[in-house]
Amino acid sequence: MEKFRIIFVEPEQEINLGLSARVMDNFNIRSMYLINPKCSLGFSAIMYAKHAKRIIKNAKIYSKLEDALKGCDLVVGTSGVINKYTDISFGPIELKQFKKILEERKTKKPIAILFGRESTGLNREEIKLCDVLVHIPTSKRYPVLNITNALAIVLYELSNIKFKSGAEQLATKKEREYIEKLVEKKLEKIKNLKNRQKLSYALRAFFEKRFMTNIEAKGLIYILKN
């Protein structure tokens, strides 16, 4: 089973896809997922992929991000801009911190890692689909990394994750989505509630930031249903 699912959203540079395939092969990740690519997968991509050209040739292409995320229990967005879209996300956490969290939480299904457009990154709707945003600390003067450099750093850090003994099972995507629905129902029952949407996002961020275990999710579902 694939541990990480690497997804590129509307990639714009053919050379970057070739270099990314090479990096993926360095870390034994053989499947590349592309959402509505804005460039071809032709000569340049294959040339820069070197011995990883099979990853380019076998790339899985989707028109919708939601389709590529099916079967994943955790969706991780990458961002070089720390304060972007704070109204719909609790903000990026550092890659090393995220790695420590994963070492204490087991997952049965793949973890999706999203890389946005070279020019503009991930948009609001795509970030809404993420359970967490991760960033790599860099210079404040020039914080945004080239996508292939970011990919190499992410895979280097996450490829050698060692789950701690007694690591608990992460709540499934299905469980977390069900909790969101139950919270929405609770909020709908409150009359004259101001900033309903903002509060909804804040609660979602609170629960996601906890990286709930399977047992915690079941307990919260029980409480919210009663």
130-154 pLDDT, tens digit each: 988 999 998 888 888 999 999 999 9
148-200 pLDDT, tens digit each: 999 999 999 998 887 777 778 899 889 988 998 998 888 888 888 888 777 87
Total residues found in the chain within this entry? 226
117-128 pLDDT, tens digit each: 999 999 989 988
- Are the C-beta atoms of residues 198 and 122 closer than 8 Å to each other? no
Q: Rounded to whole angstroms, what are the CA distances from 115 to 11, 98, 118, 219?
A: 9, 16, 9, 34
Domains within the chain, CATH numbers bracketed? 4-168 (3.40.1280.10), 171-225 (no CATH)
The rounded distance, in Å, linking the Cα atoms of 150 and 148 is 5
As given in the structure block, the two tokens for residue 61 are 């292409």
